[in-house]
Amino acid sequence: MGQLQGKVAIITGSNTGIGKGIAEVFAKEGAKVVINGRRKELIESVAAQIKADGGESLAVPGDVTKEKDVVALFAKTIATWGKVDILVNNAGIATHTPTWEMSLEMWQSVVDINLTAAFLCSREAFRFMKDHGGGRIINIGSISAQTPRPDAAPYTATKMAIEGLTRSLTLDGRRFNIVSSVIHTGPTASNFNAARGGAGKGKTPADFIMFPHDLGRLATLMCTLPEEVNLFSAIILPNHMPSFIGRG
Ligand SMILES: NC(=O)c1ccc[n+]([C@@H]2O[C@H](COP(=O)([O-])OP(=O)(O)OC[C@H]3O[C@@H](n4cnc5c(N)ncnc54)[C@H](OP(=O)(O)O)[C@@H]3O)[C@@H](O)[C@H]2O)c1
């Protein structure tokens, strides 16, 4: 029996990259996983592959920056499986634009997906979980919250803010047994860094890129600790990464 047997998990932005990896690991551990993203065909093919591998999945397309899509995402999940035990706020985008060239629209679009969407989904999760014995919320942050890249002001600001959101959710969830955690991740194979090649080893140890399944294992640990225990914040990164610990 898997470690997440019988649990229902919504993972936002799970048609590629980290979200897909977390969904696949959760499904292998026995969870019923909701695959979400805006690209309908892609979420349907990920959901179908999980089923073909023996797991349970539900494809729910939607833009999680839109309140009505978020409400529909939770409604469809609860109508299908009767509950939500786990929410992973994963959907996000990166930016590579100097501050002085950043339009307000670009800034706002990053805040919408990297921060506001996590609020909207967490609020819907609370609305169900508070009356049904609690649950777990995992927010995907970034090591950029602590060591930013150049030309990434809204990305860095929103990933810092995700830590603050997680602290508030943790406090607000205590009375309902809702436990919130944040994963600050380093380079992981996804659309973000496709130009660097896939996961695994590169030319030097410093080139290593993590597998999305590595984050799936960490998220599984967060969800399977005793209900009184919160692995509140975790930093996961390639061990030889030169630019985060020390000076390289
Ligand atoms: N990969 C890394 O090295 C790295 C490092 C630090 C942090 N992260 C964080 O990890 C998370 C996942 O990123 P990734 O690296 O896996 O990138 P990715 O492969 O580009 O995946 C992003 C996912 O988010 C979805 N998404 C984007 N906007 C959305 C919206 N408005 N509504 C619903 N879904 C939306 C995308 O699907 P659609 O386009 O179909 O909507 C896609 O499934 C992000 O929060 C990112 O900041 C990644």
* Structure confidence by residue, pLDDT tens digits, 170-203: 999 999 999 999 999 999 998 877 777 788 888 8
- Average pLDDT score over residue span 220-246: 95
Q: Is the CB of 65 under 6 A from ligand 1?
A: yes
C-alpha–C-alpha distance, residues 192 and 196, integer Å: 9
In the structure, what pLDDT confidence band is assigned to residue 211 with cuts at 50, 70 and 90? Answer: very high
C-alpha–C-alpha distance, residues 111 and 100, integer Å: 17
pLDDT value of position 205: 85
Percentage above 70 pLDDT, the chain: 100
Rounded to the nearest 5 degrees, what angle is found at the Cα of 91, between the Cα atoms of 89 and 97?
A: 130
Which residue has the least CA distance to atom 37 on ligand 1? 37
Residue 212: how many CB atoms within 10 A of its CB? 22
Q: Is the CB of 64 under 6 A from ligand 1?
A: yes
User: Do the beta carbons of residue 7 and residue 86 sit within 8 Å?
Assistant: yes
Q: Is the CB of 185 under 6 A from ligand 1?
A: yes
Atom of ligand 1 nearest to the CA of 144: 6
Task: Judge whether residue 156 has pLDDT over 90.
Answer: yes
**220 classed as catalytic:** no
Q: Is the CB of 18 under 6 A from ligand 1?
A: yes
Most informative mutation of 36, 158, 190, 209 for ligand 1 (most atoms within 8 A of CB):
190
In the structure, what pLDDT confidence band is assigned to residue 141 with cuts at 50, 70 and 90? Answer: very high
pLDDT value of position 140: 98
pLDDT value of position 248: 72
**Ligand 1 centroid – CA 214 distance (Å):** 16
pLDDT value of position 186: 96
For the chain, the structural domain boundaries read 8-236
Reduce the DSSP state of residue 53 to 3 states and report it: coil
pLDDT value of position 202: 82
Q: Is the CB of 44 under 6 A from ligand 1?
A: no
User: Do the beta carbons of residue 146 and residue 190 sit within 8 Å?
Assistant: no
Question: If phi over 0 gives left and psi between -120 and 50 gives alpha, with beta otherwise, what is residue 42?
Answer: alpha
Q: Does the reported pTM lie above 0.95?
A: yes
- Average pLDDT score over residue span 218-227: 98
Span between the terminal Cα atoms of the chain, in Å: 43
**Ligand 1 centroid – CA 167 distance (Å):** 22
Tell the CATH topology of 8-236.
Rossmann fold (3.40.50)
What is the per-residue pLDDT across 106-130, written as a single tens digit (0 to 9) for each? 999 999 999 999 999 999 999 999 9
